[in-house]
Chains A and B, each alone.
Chain A
Amino acid sequence: ILNVEQSPQSLHVQEGDSTNFTCSFPSSNFYALHWYRWETAKSPEALFVMTLNGDEKKKGRISATLNTKEGYSYLYIKGSQPEDSATYLCATPQNAGGTSYGKLTFGQGTILTVHP
């Protein structure tokens, strides 16, 4: 079982603040790193899937970076809005010999609350 760690566990910010959180994962046999947003009473929704060291992806005010050599990814939210309040999950596939059918191991998530 892979060890995927996220920090912090929870975060409270004011509307308009920029924020970021971290996902750590094993750097050996890396295949891909996923980020999901999970709003209360809904199901997780894929934000990004990154596969290359140095990858940077952006979706509106949310962006993510990837460092596969040291085994971490950052998720950034610029100018947080109350609708950004959610749990943000990262996950990585359990790799087997360079291929992966995509069995994801998830971190426990970072709960973000944006106060108006």
Chain B
Amino acid sequence: IAGITQAPTSQILAAGRRMTLRCTQDMRHNAMYWYRQDLGLGLRLIHYSNTAGTTGKGEVPDGYSVSRANTDDFPLTLASAVPSQTSVYFCASNPGTGSVGYTFGSGTRLTVV
């Protein structure tokens, strides 16, 4: 089934540790996005990529990095996790135009302790 796969589903991480959240899509979408969901704050954009080889910062990029080596994969890395990065992380994609809806992954629930 075409879509987005995120891994892991959930993770408890010690503060200071490095962690990579994986996101893979099989729809050949150009654009991919990482959002975090926090209670009362909704979905906020962390980083995005308009096409393979390019990335950009969203609304809340500090403490996160991304790469886009190919069309399918868009990993999100926390270099040194802090408790404020406890959140649910959603990866999304679309063909690269704002007139087409996003496809979302199922999310990664991350707890930093």
Which residues in B have some Cβ–Cβ distance to A below 8 Å? 31, 33, 35, 40-45, 48, 50, 56, 58-59, 90, 94, 96-107
1/0 per residue, CB under 8 A from B, across A1-23: the answer is 10000000000000000000000
Name the B residues within 8 Å of A63 (CB-CB): none
Q: A107-B42, A109-B42 are in contact. Are A43 and B104 (CB under 8 A)?
A: yes
A102–B45 touching, CB < 8 Å: no
Which residues in A have some Cβ–Cβ distance to B below 8 Å? 1, 31-32, 34, 36, 42-49, 51, 89, 91-93, 95, 100-109
Q: A34-B101, A103-B58 are in contact. Are A89 and B106 (CB under 8 A)?
A: no
A31, A45, A47, A103, most chain B CB atoms within 10 A: A103
B45–A105 touching, CB < 8 Å: yes
A-B pairs with beta carbons under 8 Å apart, 28 shown: A31-B98, A36-B102, A44-B90, A44-B104, A45-B104, A46-B101, A46-B103, A47-B101, A49-B101, A89-B43, A92-B98, A100-B97, A101-B31, A101-B50, A102-B94, A102-B97, A102-B98, A102-B102, A103-B45, A103-B58, A104-B98, A105-B45, A105-B59, A106-B43, A106-B44, A107-B42, A108-B42, A109-B42
Q: Give bound CA distance, A95 to B97, whole Å.
A: 10
B59–A1 touching, CB < 8 Å: yes
Known contacts A89-B43, A103-B58; 9 further A-B pairs (Cβ under 8 A): A31-B99, A46-B102, A51-B99, A100-B99, A101-B48, A104-B33, A104-B45, A104-B98, A106-B35
A34–B102 touching, CB < 8 Å: yes
Name the A residues within 8 Å of B40 (CB-CB): 108
